[in-house]
Structure formats: C-alpha cells, structure tokens
Structure 1
C-alpha cells in the first residue's frame, strides 16, 4: 500500500486538505484510496514514533498500526495529514532555521512503514509572512525566543528539503508555494490523493471562502457551474479572473511590522525566497507544483 504524507507546513493549510478529502471519503474509497480521520491516527503515530525512537518498525508493529488507522478494506493508498509531523508549531523556527527537527521527525515517521512506498507533500511560504504569522499566534515566551534568536535572512526552505531528502532518499517529495495554492488547489488534491483523472471531487471550492468576498465566490461558483472548464489551465484562468476582482485582502493580511523590520527588508526576504525556490527545484527527487 502506498502512503501519502501531507506535512503542512504550519499556517499554510489549517487542515483544509484533510477536510476536503474526508468529505470525498466514499468517492475515494471506490478508488481504493483511504482517508482516515486525523483525530485518531495523529495520536497513534505520535505514540508509535516516541515508542520506537526512530527505529524501523517490525512488520508486526506496522500491521497493527495500519489495523488501528485504516477505516476500510482493500486500500491501495492511504492519506495522512498533519502540520505537526515535522515538529510542533512553537518550534517551527529555532536558531535561525526552519523546522530544525525535520530530518529526525520525517525519518521516524517513514520508519513506521518501512515496507510500504511513501510519498511526501509540503507547502512552503515566504519566510517573511511565515515568521510574522508564527509570532502573531505564539505565546509570549515563544514569541520572544523567535524574535530574539532569529536572523530572518537565514531562513531557507531548501535546508529543510535537503535534510528530508538526505534522511529519506527513497521518499519523493512534492513542494508548492502556499501563495500559489488558489491556482493549484485541484492539482494539490490530485497529487496527494492520486485519484484518477476521471474522478471529480466535491467541495473543492470551499477553500476559496478564506480569500474571497462572499459575493465573488458565489459568482465564481455560478460561472463554473454553467461554464465548466475543459482543462486545468482554463480553470486557473477563470479562478485568477475572479480572484483579481473579488480577493479579500483583509482575510489574509499579515502584520509585518515586527521590531526592526522595514519594507526594504521584507523585499529582500521575498527575493531570497524566490532564489530559494530555484534551489529547491534543483534538488533530486523533488517535484515543484507551479500554476
């Protein structure tokens, strides 16, 4: 059985991918794709990795774990999703590094299923907005630690990806920029679940409620219903047109006024992010989704 691991990152998905696939659980089950509920398997996986301390699970241990997780028979693929897989949110930035525990956590998770093929999926985002958003939701102690110990220009997603590829070279990794998610949402769902081309998932447009004004979303849904796109490229153009007109900046606004930050600094961080994505595209075993 193939296993898809959706790894977050924090503050990019908020379980929307998992919720969408669960809403299509019966449809996907018909394609031998299992989407178990996260409320149970996240604790089971955490307990198992702590118990094994990174060691490879025995065939018996893996079988027992799958029996506890799976909600169907005959599954050929299972989708597991959690932003905590690479480490807790409070430690997503530490000592001027993104997810310093990524290699260790990823290897321990992969070792729970040593005899099963695994694929991993990760959304990244501009370190400027990522750090600012983390600071915004952190408790006082974590906020102070992040601000006092982090050099923002040192934050590199390529370091996370390289560490994960070194730890688990047999696991292909799919990456996308969170900023591109509105234009890639259908591609992301298909990549993670690997459902066949002939399958149309429901509730896929629920995601857009978080970035669009309600009247715009209603108009877009009406347009898509009466003018179904024939290709993904056509779907992206339609979505882009409605986003241009009905995007709600207040819903996604990030306060970048952190101590010592300037507009020039944010521009530099954004440029470094673009360069970092070029570095990620060059890493062997990595696929980058683009609009």
Structure 2
C-alpha cells in the first residue's frame, strides 16, 4: 500500500489540492487510488499527534491508522491532505527552524504504517510571506514566545528538508515552490496521485484561471481546446505568458502585515529563499517539481 501525504504547507494551497483530487475521483479510481476526505485526514493526523504526546504508541495506534488507510483491499494508493501533518501552526516557527518537528513526525508516522510505502508532498512558501501569516494566525502568547526566542532572519526551509531526509530516508519527498503552483498544477496533482504524465485531469487549469481576468481565462480555454497541438513546453510557456499579461493583481499580490519589515528585509528573505531552493533542487533524494 502506498500512502501519499500532502502536508501543505500552511497558507499554500488553501484546500485546492483536495478540491482537484475530488474533481478527479473517477480517474483516480481507475488507478486504484482513493482520497481520504478532510474529516478522515484530520483523524489520521490526530491519531499520530496523540500518540506522539503519549510518548509511545499504544497497541491500538497502528491498527487505528491501518483502518483509515487500508480499509479497501482493492486500493494500491491512499492520499490524505493536512497542513497540520508537520505540526500545528503554533509549533511551525521554533528552535530556529521552520517546522522543526517535521522530520520526527514523518519518521514516526512511517513506523506506525509498518509495511506501507509513505510519500510526502509539500509546496514551499517564501518565508517573507509564510512567517508573518503564521505569527498572525496563532495566539498572542505563542506569538510572543516565538518573537522572544527565535531569530526570524535565520528561518528557512533548508533545515526542515534536511531533517526529513536524515530522519525519514525511506520516505519519498516531493516539493515545489508554491509561487509556481498555478503553472504546474497538473504536475502537482499527478505526482500526489501517482498518475503518469499523460493522464488526463479535470480542471487542470482551474487554479490558474482563478487568478486571471476574463480575457485571460478565455485564452487559457483556447489553449486547452487545442489539445495536443502544442507540446508540453510550448503549452507551459503560453500559460506563463497569459499569467504575466492577464493576472488580477489582487489575486497574486501578498499583503505583508509585519511591523518593521521594510523592502530590504523582504529582499533579503527572498534571496535566502532562492538560495535554499537552489540547494534543495541539487539534493539527490528530493524530487522537485519545476516549471
């Protein structure tokens, strides 16, 4: 059994992965793949979290997870999605790291799913956007603790990725830049679903279209109707051009709500993010989906 875990991250897809997977349930069924709904995904993460808090799994913990993901003998792959898998938001910025418990939680989950092939998927978000959103989404007490104990300027995704590789080396890790998601959405959904590159998808360009003016949406529809008249590279280039020309600014511009952060700080975080992404792309054991 393959267990594919879409771990978010927080403030990346905002439920769009589950929406796309739901729109393609029939296609997934043809490939002996099923999606756990939001309730069962939350239940899965709760079982793992409760077991971690207890210090060790009780005898029923592996059975509880097995019932959630292996209940149908006709399935080869089960998908779940939760941006709490790497940890709740209040723990997302601690110990000088983003999601400092991601590696341990992933390794622990793999041990509970003994015999399953576990894969983890996550879209990384520019820390200059991610950090303020996390801080404004948690309780004031947790926020003040983080600000008092954490050098925000040192936070990056590299530590989390290295922990995942070190602590859960048997787990296949697939990452992408959230900022590229509209242009590679089909690749993301196929990767999570374990589908071949040529597998058709419903609503493959729905995310991209949601960011565009009506004129841009018509252009996307025109390209989709051309089908195989454009090769993969040409289609991707056409979509990128459409996004550049017809994007609705209110849909793609992020408002930063972090007192004291100026243009220099934003640029520094973005430069660090790009450096980390370059390092991550060079890692042999990480699959990175790119434009």
Q: Assess same fold via TM > 0.5.
A: yes
* 8 Å Cα contact 2:183-2:208 kept in structure 1: no
| Distance in structure 2 (CA, Å) of the matches to 1:116 and 1:164 | 17
Question: Which secondary structure does the structure 2 equivalent of 1:10 belong to?
Answer: coil
Preserved contact between residue 4 and residue 192 of structure 2 (Cα < 8 Å) = yes
C-alpha spacing 1:49/1:115, structure 2 compared with 1 (3 Å): farther
Measure how far apart 1:226 and its partner are.
Answer: 3.9
Which whole-Å CA distance do the structure 1 matches of 2:257 and 2:66 have between them?
Answer: 46
Contact 1:175 1:289 in 2 (8 A): yes
Once residues 150 and 128 of structure 1 are traced to their aligned partners in structure 2, the CA distance between those partners, rounded to angstroms, is: 15
1:32 Cα shift?
A: 0.9
- Cross-structure match for 1:29: 29
Contact 2:47 / 2:64 at 8 angstroms: preserved in 1? no
Count of paired positions:
290
Mapped contact 2:209–2:220 kept (Cα < 8 A): no
SS at match of 2:205: helix
Q: Which residue of 1 aligns with 2:234?
A: 234
Q: Provide closer, same or farther for how the CA distance between residues 12 and 48 of structure 1 changes in structure 2, counting only shifts above 3 A.
A: closer
Q: For residues 256 and 65 of structure 2, what CA distance do their matches in structure 1 show?
A: 43
Structure-2 separation of matches of 1:170 and 1:57: 24
Instruction: Confirm or deny: 8 A CA contact 1:165 1:285 kept in the other structure.
Output: yes
Contact 2:65–2:113 (CA under 8 A) maintained in structure 1? no
Distance 2:55 2:166 in 1: 15
CA gap 1:260/1:198 in 2 versus in 1, 3 angstroms: closer
The two structures, once aligned, show a CA RMSD in angstroms of 2.5
User: Structure 2: which 5+ runs fail to align?
Assistant: none
Give the 4+ runs in structure 1 shifted more than 6 A: none
Paired with 2:72 and 2:215, the residues of 1 have a C-alpha distance of 39
CA distance in structure 2 between the partners assigned to 1:214 and 1:89 by the alignment: 36
Distance 1:76 1:128, change over 3 A: same
Normalised by the size of structure 2, how large is the TM-score? 0.88
The DSSP-based 3-state class of the residue aligned with 2:10 is coil
Question: Following TM superposition, by how much is the alpha carbon of 1:105 offset from its aligned partner in structure 2, in angstroms?
Answer: 1.6
Asked if 1 retains the 8 angstrom alpha-carbon contact of 2:66 and 2:113, the reply is no
Confirm or deny: 8 A CA contact 1:55 1:111 kept in the other structure: no
2:101 paired residue number: 101
- Aligned residue for 2:217? 217
- Within 1, Cα distance between the matches of 2:23 and 2:281? 32
Name the TM-score, length of structure 1 as normaliser: 0.88
1:261 corresponds in structure 2 to 261
1:270 CA drift (Å): 1.0
The alignment partner of 1:195 has SS state of coil
Checking the alignment, whether the CA contact within 8 Å between 2:41 and 2:81 is kept in structure 1 is no
